């Protein structure tokens, strides 16, 4: 079972050229796939496609296939897709329902929509809050949280749906360093504890280097590089593709340029 995109080409409604061309990816449960690329490379579109929101909810035309655990996203009902693949967007504010008086109710919003028994709603909500270590936020007003806290609550709300896969579209882009650290730590715990397969789009390649096993680079809607995260994020062509390499790669390059010898470079690479 996996989330598969096979030769997927997607065009937004009313737009002549495709936003994504011949995309083939596979995300298996328990793995983390990172996606990097310059602005307008198609990363957010890829997230919408992988989660089934495109074309089901936002329209447009898809050629090729997108399947989540064998269910083709074309023709599937949004509630079915929501239980298989969750998605977290950049802006935490627009992901919160705006109707919940407390964080607890916000996280319970999704399970309630599924008409689950009250026992199960309570269990899922508390498990999601616990998985991200935000139980103390439960009685708080969701409208009065910091950016990092709101993003964690939005993530908990998605986790409460118990999806097998999670798509995260620049989850730390609007966060300060502290918020980024909060969410980054949560993502690391998530992969270990929930077994969900993650597709993470980020500009912060340091974060990706610490959590992802595989990585692809998108440029102009196409995959231009793929491989292990370590290899891809060390590729010297990243600058050409509009991607800032992780700090370790930048330091290594600077050291080489300054004439630092190999044994010293290896020591730098292995320093914690």
Partner 1 sequence: MQPSDARRTPPDFVQPIPTGPYRGLNPTTKLVIAVAEALVAFTVRGWTGPLAVLLVLATTAVAARLGRRLVPFVIATVPLTASILLVNTFLFPGATDVILRIGPFTPTWSGLEAALQATLRVMAFAMSVAVLVLTTRPDELVADLERRGAPRGVTFVIGATVRTIPRVVQRAGEITDAQRARGLDTQGRLWRRVRGVLPLAAPLIFGSLNEVEELTMALEARAFSAAGRRTTLRVFPDGTGQRQLRWAAALLTAALIVLSIAGRLAFLP
List interacting residues with partner 1 (CB under 8 A): 48, 51, 53, 57-58, 77-79, 82-83, 86-87, 89, 91, 93-102, 104-105, 108-119, 121-123, 138-139, 143, 154, 157-158, 161
- C-alpha 113/C-alpha 247 separation (Å) is 43
Query: How far apart are CB 71 and partner 1 at their closest, in Å?
Result: 15
- C-alpha 241/C-alpha 238 separation (Å) is 5
Residue placing its CB nearer to partner 1 in the complex, 158 or 219:
158
Query: How far apart are CB 227 and partner 1 at their closest, in Å?
Result: 30
* Strand locations in the chain (E): 3-11, 20-27, 32-37, 61-68, 71-72, 85-88, 165-169, 197-201, 214-219, 222-228
Residue placing its CB nearer to partner 1 in the complex, 16 or 117:
117
Query: How far apart are CB 62 and partner 1 at their closest, in Å?
Result: 16
CB 22 within 8 Å of CB 8: yes
CB 153 within 8 Å of CB 92: yes
Residue placing its CB nearer to partner 1 in the complex, 102 or 185:
102
Query: How far apart are CB 129 and partner 1 at their closest, in Å?
Result: 11
Residue placing its CB nearer to partner 1 in the complex, 1 or 101:
101
CB 242 within 8 Å of CB 232: no
Residue placing its CB nearer to partner 1 in the complex, 143 or 195:
143
CB 249 within 8 Å of CB 265: no
> DSSP for 179-212?
HHHHHHHHHHHHHHHT--EEEEE-S-HHHHHHH-
Query: How far apart are CB 222 and partner 1 at their closest, in Å?
Result: 24
Residue placing its CB nearer to partner 1 in the complex, 95 or 205:
95
Residue placing its CB nearer to partner 1 in the complex, 113 or 247:
113
**Alpha-carbon distance values, 116 to 88, 123, 161, 194, 196 (Å):** 22, 11, 11, 20, 21
Query: How far apart are CB 251 and partner 1 at their closest, in Å?
Result: 37
Q: Which residue has the tokens 């490379």?
A: 41
- Per-residue tokens: 42: 């198609």
- C-alpha 119/C-alpha 128 separation (Å) is 14
Query: How far apart are CB 142 and partner 1 at their closest, in Å?
Result: 9
């Amino acid at each position: 079972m996996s989330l598969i995109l096979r030769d997927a080409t997607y065009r937004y409604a009313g737009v002549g050229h495709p936003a994504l061309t011949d995309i083939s990816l596979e995300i298996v449960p328990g793995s983390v796939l990172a996606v990097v690329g310059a602005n307008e490379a198609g990363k957010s579109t890829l997230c919408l496609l992988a989660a089934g929101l495109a074309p089901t909810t936002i329209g447009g035309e898809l050629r090729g296939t997108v399947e989540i655990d064998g269910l083709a996203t074309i023709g599937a009902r949004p509630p079915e897709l929501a239980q298989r693949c969750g998605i977290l967007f950049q802006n935490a504010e627009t992901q919160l329902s705006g109707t919940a008086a407390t964080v607890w109710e916000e996280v319970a919003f999704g399970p309630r929509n599924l008409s689950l028994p009250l026992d199960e709603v309570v269990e899922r909500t508390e498990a999601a809050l616990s998985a991200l270590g935000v139980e103390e936020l439960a009685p708080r007003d969701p409208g009065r949280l910091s950016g990092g806290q709101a993003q964690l609550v939005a993530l908990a709300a998605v986790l409460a749906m118990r999806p097998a896969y999670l798509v995260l579209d620049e989850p730390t882009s609007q966060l300060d360093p502290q918020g980024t650290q909060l969410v980054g730590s949560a993502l690391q715990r998530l992969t270990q504890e929930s077994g969900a397969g993650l597709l993470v789009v980020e500009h912060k390649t340091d974060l990706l280097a610490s959590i992802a096993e595989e990585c692809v680079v998108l440029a102009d809607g196409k995959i231009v590089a793929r491989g292990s995260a370590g290899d891809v994020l060390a590729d010297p062509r990243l600058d050409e593709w509009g991607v800032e390499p992780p700090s370790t790669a930048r330091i290594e390059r600077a050291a080489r340029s300054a004439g630092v010898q190999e044994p010293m470079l290896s020591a730098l690479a292995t320093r914690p």
